Amino acid sequence: MSHFDVSAVQADFPILKRLIRGNNRLVYLDSGATSQKPISVLDAEREFYTQHNAAAHRGAHQLAEEATEIFEAARGKVAAFIGAKVDEVVFTKSATESINLVAYSFGNADLGTKFHIKAGDRIVVSEMEHHANLIPWQELAKRTGAELVWLSVTDDGRLDLSNAERIINAKTKVVALTHQSNVLGTINPINEIAKYVRNVGALFVLDACQSVPHYAVDVKELDVDFIAFSGHKMLGPTGVGVLWGKQELLDEMPPFLTGGSMIETVTMESASYLPAPKRFEAGVPNMAQAVGLGAAVDYLNRIGMEKIHQHEVELTKACIERLSQIPQLKIVGPTDMELRGGVVSFTLDGIHPHDLGQALDQYGIAVRTGHHCAWPLMKKYRVVATTRASLYLYNDLADVEALVTGVERARDYFLGR
Amino acid sequence: MSHFDVSAVQADFPILKRLIRGNNRLVYLDSGATSQKPISVLDAEREFYTQHNAAAHRGAHQLAEEATEIFEAARGKVAAFIGAKVDEVVFTKSATESINLVAYSFGNADLGTKFHIKAGDRIVVSEMEHHANLIPWQELAKRTGAELVWLSVTDDGRLDLSNAERIINAKTKVVALTHQSNVLGTINPINEIAKYVRNVGALFVLDACQSVPHYAVDVKELDVDFIAFSGHKMLGPTGVGVLWGKQELLDEMPPFLTGGSMIETVTMESASYLPAPKRFEAGVPNMAQAVGLGAAVDYLNRIGMEKIHQHEVELTKACIERLSQIPQLKIVGPTDMELRGGVVSFTLDGIHPHDLGQALDQYGIAVRTGHHCAWPLMKKYRVVATTRASLYLYNDLADVEALVTGVERARDYFLGR
Amino acid sequence: MELDSLYQEVILEHYKRPQNKGLLPNQTVQVHHVNTSCGDEITLNLKMINGTIAEISWDGVGCSISQASTSVVSELLKGKDSAAALAIIDTFQAMLQSKGSDLGDESVLEDGVAFAGVAKFPARVKCALLGWMATKDAISQSLALTSNVKKEQR
Amino acid sequence: MELDSLYQEVILEHYKRPQNKGLLPNQTVQVHHVNTSCGDEITLNLKMINGTIAEISWDGVGCSISQASTSVVSELLKGKDSAAALAIIDTFQAMLQSKGSDLGDESVLEDGVAFAGVAKFPARVKCALLGWMATKDAISQSLALTSNVKKEQR
Ligand SMILES: Cc1ncc(COP(=O)(O)O)c(C=O)c1O
Ligand SMILES: Cc1ncc(COP(=O)(O)O)c(C=O)c1O
């Protein structure tokens, strides 16, 4: 386990020194919900505010020039991180906004354009989607009369592609899928699915919330049209997300939010719009947050995404192995490391996840319990909720051991009495 | 000029110590675009990240509990600041999003509900709107077939209400107006206009971007239905805005962004939604930014909005008086202090605002030049652009003097050669 | 240890042997409540006779706190009239929202005071309230039914 | 002083006495360009004769930089053929986007080198390019016209 110096990484995250419920070391295993932030990200934001703060793209004075340059440099960093062109990176407030942006923009598209969705068209999602990549499509389907159809999941937590060709049929205009499930840890075979999508000429939207933070993602290699992810899950600040889209698509799509800084000309009657990314960034942007995200990307690059991935794979493997030794425990999701990320969901016979999570919290271990914003998936697997441990670069084997010991203690606490 | 200790205030804003274009003191007169931030706001964000960061409303562990509590406390502060109930405060990413939220939500409303807009209905704005409070309504009108109509401005920069009763007629479903013009400084007589709006039973949306940061605004006194404003213009972080709406309206309106944390139940086919504010806050929220905005509100309260307003009125008065002594200079907007805020736009004969702004920047003075995202207003007054100085609590008479001297120097530089 | 202050013996008892679990027929009102943040669900049947709670039966899935607290409320309110029942529910709710300052009146809440510790865990307050809010809702609905019947009779 | 490095004498000269300002008739192509961040506008007429720029005339409102630079380009490209004109425009654009490292070749850009200082003021680069981009657009459109005519003749 020497891909990089994990204890040096831990030292960069001040919150890891916190004591929980009295005197317990914080064992943070909830990075799938939101990651912690290194000092360098906080410093980048502070430096922006104390040295360069002004409205980017809106002033000719020195601070405004500097703010513009630093903000655009952050865009450049994010673009390079995912192998994109700089103008293909749109800053949003979150992955949720990114996906809604695409769905609303499609909904705004004129009849006859390739984005227009109408009754008879089909939108395809999957049973393992986070609500953020499900409900916007339900709503778009409702508004347009299109049909919402989905790929199922198999009992071992994989996407069922056996009927993919029937589901992704000629009527299909959009396929919206998650890159990695935030519950199961499953990584979906995007290039394979892309073939079905391309065959029918549909648009492919990828929810990359759980992939971009954890392993190298290159949009040129993924054969998709849009990807969405959040800054706060990849060491960045809250309040910033990213939509990447192919330039020729972004430049043709109708805008979503309208207002200042995204217009070409405006009269009282109507307005015309700038090309992407500005077209989709109405208003004074979330400058400090974009800058913080740029610093997060610098941090991840300094460690190296390949090493981070290796580290997480080893930890996850250990985590699954050790948890599986607890007789009452059932892993929900794949138990092999083939196409699998560092998210481990499980149930414990006779103990509700809420109670388990509460006990773990008492020992300083932060996990997520509940439906994980993937309620249909819970119903599919006939569980009310699961307990989820999610790993990141600052976790180590001691954290995994703490989890396992914690689960055993909790079990004995509830079932032993 | 002793409403409060301005130099003590200045000491709280580290950026004011910056030197510009060599060795000039920064004279920041662009707070109308974005304000500077006191250390206490930056510290509040940092403390959130280094002590309590976790996904609010999504976890049962201690950090998640703390994050939820601190985030909701910020909502409470903002609510108290504008005299609202806590559940009436929706955190958005910006005023631009707040206004778009309302427009899109109306657009999503079912036929028969009070928010539904259709062909034959009327949406009323004014000629002095910022693009953020104009284009969303143009687009809504386009999508629904409604008619967009507007109140004019008079030559002296006031809203022309002489035909208000004809403009705001029985067909009118929405009136969207700015509280204070970001170009002219004009404060509109909202209570007076509200009478026309109430007479016809329309919904009243107020763009409070330039009012809430500068003087006490109480939503109970304003007879409006929604107000929108941005955190970054009131000492808060970028990436956070507010929508206030009457509770009974917010609870009935369809959602805008959909995704996690705003749902009641979800199946593959459809979802039902929580009441406001959660209904309108899909996804992991901009927690640190909301917390920073809470700290900004604390800071403003510590000085006192009444004192801040008095201070700005005196500065603005001095600014208008002194600028008016420059023969080539023309103020665009009211020159008396009756219903007027601290934004002063002007033109200088023979010198384009871009050139003037450039020269001022060279002397360390940051102003805004251009159309100020109010292009139709520029056309109305037959100017290409104006130069705008906007004042805030950290400005003083020395800043006003610097501006006047700077304008004179610039005039001599361009016209004297 | 703080975990014990949350998981009182009484709570774990009710969790293991929940009272009135399993829906009984002939209810006056049936309600279905969901804890939207975790997915826990409860269905509750309320049978009123002459303005008095004759029977509360329920079914559902949930954590120990929500199961035990539903068990407690279903026992506690049996035989009470609507007004008294609603008052007790309010007392319970106030205790849970007190952040730990209100330890509950055992003469009113009986086993319900065991949930006083939950108030210190904000994320769990909803669990403890799930069954109680369902009961409150059911009582309100049954009152509305009665007043409708009365109106019709007039 | 840095202001002088931006506002070179040559620029202020052109600003005060702009060349070819006022639209001439009989243009091959007319274009209208806007600087979306400040509202400056320009209309430009291009007259081509046998693939050579016979005349550039223009009108519009704008700052000294945009007015002067349009004046310069309208003089400089007169008599050049399309290819040469486009190459000169590219050279100018490269200089302005160099952030100050490219001082411009006076033998190619003539008065245009006076705008080298603008490259250090990113917000003003668009001003200096407004007339040049309009000219580039007009030349491209005239080339498209010619090739369409040729296609029709075939
Ligand atoms: C009057 C007015 N409305 C709306 C806005 C838009 O605010 P933001 O860009 O923060 O969304 C601004 C500021 O730019 C403004 O001055
Ligand atoms: C797979 C997936 N999609 C979408 C989201 C939504 O991200 P956010 O809440 O940051 O918008 C999340 C995280 O919550 C996620 O895990």
pLDDT digit string (tens) for A202-227? Answer: 999 999 999 999 999 999 999 999 99
Q: Residue B295: is its pLDDT beyond 80? A: yes
Tell me, what's the pLDDT at A58?
A: 80
- Structure confidence at residue D2 as a pLDDT band (50, 70, 90): confident
- Structure confidence at residue C139 as a pLDDT band (50, 70, 90): very high
Residue of the CA atom closest to atom 9 of ligand 1: A283
Strand order in the sheet with B386-390: B329-332, B343-348, B386-390, B368-370
The alpha carbon of A365 and the centre of ligand 2 are apart by a number of angstroms equal to 22
Tell me, what's the pLDDT at B60?
A: 80
- Structure confidence at residue D39 as a pLDDT band (50, 70, 90): confident
Interchain proximity C65–A354, CB inside 8 Å: yes
Q: Which superfamily is assigned to A6-30+304-414 in CATH? A: Aspartate Aminotransferase, domain 1 (3.90.1150.10)
Interchain proximity A69–D122, CB inside 8 Å: yes
The alpha carbon of D49 and the centre of ligand 1 are apart by a number of angstroms equal to 49
C-alpha C106 chain-centroid distance: 16
Is the CB of residue A4 less than 8 Å away from at least one CB of chain C? no
Tell me, what's the pLDDT at A417?
A: 61
Residue of the CA atom closest to atom 8 of ligand 2: B283
Instruction: Give the pocket of ligand 2 (CB within 6 Å).
Output: A 94-96, 130, 132-133, 178, 182, 207, 209-210, 230, 232, 241, 373; B 259-260, 283-284
Q: Report the gap between the CA of D108 and the closest CA in chain B (Å).
A: 27
- Scanning D14-53 for CB atoms below 8 A from B yields 37-41
Q: Strands C52-61 and B386-390: what pairing?
A: unpaired
Tell me, what's the pLDDT at C152?
A: 63
Q: Residue C1: is its pLDDT beyond 70? A: no
Q: Residue B217: is its pLDDT beyond 70? A: yes
Interchain proximity D34–A265, CB inside 8 Å: yes
CATH of domain C2-144: 3.90.1010.10
Which residues in chain C touch residue A358, judged by CB atoms under 8 angstroms apart?
A: 3, 6, 121, 124
DSSP state of B257: S
B306's CB contacts (< 8 A; 6+ apart) are B215, B216
CA distance C79 to D29: 92
Residue of B nearest to D60 (CA): B384
Mean of pLDDT values over C110-117: 95
N-terminal to C-terminal alpha carbon distance within chain A: 38
Mean of pLDDT values over A362-374: 96
> What ipTM, to 2 d.p.?
0.95
- Structure confidence at residue B150 as a pLDDT band (50, 70, 90): very high
- Structure confidence at residue D154 as a pLDDT band (50, 70, 90): low
CB-based burial of residue D104 (10 Å sphere; 0-12 exposed, 13-18 middle, 19+ buried)? buried
Interchain proximity B60–A369, CB inside 8 Å: yes
Q: Report the gap between the CA of C7 and the closest CA in chain B (Å).
A: 15
Which residues in chain B touch residue A270, judged by CB atoms under 8 angstroms apart?
A: 138, 142
* E-only strand ranges, A105-218: 122-126, 147-151, 172-178, 203-207
Strand order in the sheet with D29-34: D29-34, D41-49, D52-61
Which residues in chain C touch residue B56, judged by CB atoms under 8 angstroms apart?
A: none
Q: Residue B128: is its pLDDT beyond 60? A: yes
Which residues in chain C touch residue A357, judged by CB atoms under 8 angstroms apart?
A: none
Q: Residue A194: is its pLDDT beyond 70? A: yes
Interchain proximity B353–D63, CB inside 8 Å: yes
Tell me, what's the pLDDT at D1?
A: 54
Least confident of A90-94, A163-167, C25-29, D33-37: D33-37
Mean of pLDDT values over B314-342: 97
- Scanning D85-114 for CB atoms below 8 A from B yields none
The alpha carbon of B95 and the centre of ligand 1 are apart by a number of angstroms equal to 6
Residue of B nearest to A268 (CA): B376
- pLDDT tens-place string over residues D57-98: 999 999 999 999 999 999 999 999 999 999 999 999 999 999
Nearest Cα to A143, choosing from A121, A128, A124?
A121
- Please identify which of the residues B29, B373, B404, B410 carries the catalytic annotation: B373
Residue of A nearest to C41 (CA): A384
Q: How far is CA A112 from CA A115, A116, A117, A148, A236, in A?
A: 8, 7, 10, 21, 39
Choice from A53, A261, A284 to test ligand 1 binding pocket (greatest atom count within 8 A of CB): A284
Asked if B373 is an active-site residue, the reply is: yes
Q: Residue A284: is its pLDDT beyond 80? A: yes
Coil vs helix vs strand at A344: strand
The alpha carbon of A103 and the centre of ligand 2 are apart by a number of angstroms equal to 16
Domain limits, chain C: 2-144
| Residues B394, B16 contacting (CB under 8 angstroms) | yes
Tell me, what's the pLDDT at C123?
A: 87
Q: Which of C7, C39, C121 sits opposite A378 (nearest CB)?
A: C39
Domain limits, chain B: 6-30+304-414, 42-301
Is the CB of residue A333 less than 8 Å away from at least one CB of chain B? no
* E-only strand ranges, chain D: 29-34, 41-49, 52-61
Q: Which of A370, A385, A413 sits opposite C3 (nearest CB)?
A: A413
Tell me, what's the pLDDT at B119?
A: 97
Interchain proximity D64–B352, CB inside 8 Å: yes
Q: Which chains touch C (3 or more CB pairs under 8 A)?
A: A, B
**Count H helices, E strands: chain A?**
13, 17
Which residues in chain C touch residue A22, judged by CB atoms under 8 angstroms apart?
A: 2
Amino acid symbol at B358: Q
CATH of domain B42-301: 3.40.640.10
Interchain proximity A132–B93, CB inside 8 Å: no
Q: What is the 3-state secondary structure (H, E, C) of A95-129?
A: HHHHHHHHHHHHHHCCCCCCCCCCCCCEEEEECCC
A59 CB less than 6 Å from ligand 1?
Answer: no
CA distance B105 to B113: 12
Interchain proximity C2–A22, CB inside 8 Å: yes
Q: Residue C53: is its pLDDT beyond 60? A: yes
- pLDDT tens-place string over residues A47-61: 999 999 999 988 789
Q: Residue C2: is its pLDDT beyond 90? A: no
CA distance A214 to B233: 35
The alpha carbon of B98 and the centre of ligand 1 are apart by a number of angstroms equal to 10
Q: Which of C36, C122, C123 sits opposite B274 (nearest CB)?
A: C36
CA distance B370 to B255: 35
What is the full DSSP assignment across B158-195? -B--TTHHHHS-TTEEEEEEESB-TTT-BBP-HHHHHH
Q: Which chains touch B (3 or more CB pairs under 8 A)?
A: A, C, D
Omega cis (within 30) before A277: yes
- Structure confidence at residue C12 as a pLDDT band (50, 70, 90): very high
- pLDDT tens-place string over residues A117-169: 999 999 999 999 999 999 999 999 999 999 999 999 999 999 999 999 999 99
A206: tokens are 């990828």
Tell me, what's the pLDDT at B416?
A: 82
Q: Report the gap between the CA of A367 and the closest CA in chain C (Å).
A: 14
What stretch of H or E contains A244? strand A241-245
CA distance D132 to A29: 57
Q: Report the gap between the CA of A147 and the closest CA in chain C (Å).
A: 26
Mean of pLDDT values over D33-53: 92
